[in-house]
Amino acid sequence: MIRHFVANFLTLLIVGLIGLAIVISSGKRSFYAEGPLDQAICFRVAPGDSLRVVSSGLVEQEAISSEQIFRIGAQYTERAGALRFGSYLIPEGASMDQIMDLLTRGGASTCGSEIQYRIGVTRIDTLVRELDPTTQRFETIVQFTSDEEPPEDYARFIAQADIQYRITVAEGTTSWQVWEGLRLAEFLSGDLGDVPREGWLAPDSYSVQRGSDRQAILAEMEARQERILADLWEARAEGLPYASPEEALIMASIVEKETGVADERRQVASVFVNRLRVPMRLQTDPTVIYGITMGQGTLGRGLRRSELDAVTPYNTYRIDGLPPTPIANPGRAAIAAALDPDDTPYLYFVADGTGGHTFSTNLADHNRAVARWREIEAEMRAREQAAD
């Protein structure tokens, strides 16, 4: 009787162990197998979320098929207590193992919301953008300028602990405009000190954290511009009329302010280089404007005859050669154009009404191009008046 009982018990035990082994093997396969997601999602782990809360959320978004297998797999791979808060892009078909790796690896969030603070020549914009997981592109959902009250939705986003911040500085901004923009950025901290040297802040996009130090950001901008100028100065064309990298930076700032057409930068640079070689005065309006505003905002009107006739260090209609400093912060492309201009015979250029310019080798052709531009301006004004 006892022997029969023991035999039955051993049989049941073996069957149970085999069943357990099958369950474990099946669970393991499920943990590492392709998941049910048919398109990427953005999944947020909030500060303090437990493994149970996370697994429940993943099932709700159909990223995993089983909460239990996900939790057991996390414990088996010793990652159950390693969750990092943030927003994570979970790709289509991700396995439970891959998802657990994403949620415990740490580092910057890979999706979710981003606040982009854009310092431009004429205004400062704040944009809240969200990554669309399916297209992998950011979409703007909130936008306002520094002169406007932030919309109510903005408070909801800045309250997120894992929100990302990005400062974007446009080409052609002045150092004062950048300095003022950072001063107005409420998500930054620290004093700014004096306005940095004109031209020595690299227009670029900078990833920052809430509470980042303003002076540290300016220092990074200066270091980046110095590296750009040093690299391009080493690779400069031969025979350029610059005595130093600083003079090349001055020229680059003039090129930056004279054209927004990428394909024209080297042509515009060639005109000013040719004028320096003649020698001939640069005669460029942006330098005169800088002499009036000193980079603190925009002029907002046309130049007066008295301003063009006034002798100032920045009036290139009245002085020979370059002005004493840059007149804005040029981007890498403008610096490259100043240090490797096109080889052209041009000495003049004027707007052509398309956003670009007409280039000329002599004053007679230039005067005809100017006359044509005046006609285009008159036509534009007439259309605007008719529309009103």
Q: Do 138 and 212 fall into the same domain?
A: yes
Task: Determine the Cα–Cα distance for residues 388 and 3; give it in Å rounded to an integer.
Answer: 106
For 306, the domain range is 237-346
Instruction: Quote the distance between the C-alpha of residue 196 and its chain's center.
Output: 21
Nearest to 76 by CA among 98, 97, 60: 97
Give tens-digit pLDDT for 162-204: 788 899 999 999 999 999 999 999 999 999 999 999 999 999 9
Give me the pLDDT at residue 74, please.
85
Alpha-carbon distance 99 to 57, whole Å? 12
129's enclosing H/E stretch is strand 124-132
Query: Looking at 110, 127, 156, which one is the last position of a domain?
Result: 110
Of 119, 308, 290, 76, residue with least CA distance to 217: 119
pLDDT digits (tens, 9 = 90+) for 332-386: 999 999 999 999 999 998 888 888 898 899 999 898 988 888 888 788 778 877 8
Residue 103 covered by a domain: yes
Residue with the two structure tokens 């610059």: 242
Of 212, 229, 246, the last residue of a domain is 229
Distance CA 136, CA 2 (A): 68
Total structural domains within the chain: 3
Q: Are 134 and 152 found together in one domain? A: yes
Positions of the chain with pLDDT under 50: none
Helix (H) or strand (E) holding 141: strand 137-145
Same domain, 172 and 209: yes
Phi, psi for 164 (deg, rounded to 5):
-95, 150
Q: Calculate helix-pair angle for 67-76, 51-60, nearest 10 degrees.
A: 140
Residue 358 lies in a domain: no
In whole angstroms, give the CA distance from residue 134 to residue 116: 21
What are the two backbone dihedrals, phi and then psi, of residue 124, each rounded to the nearest 5 degrees? -115, 125
Residues 220 and 140 in one domain: yes
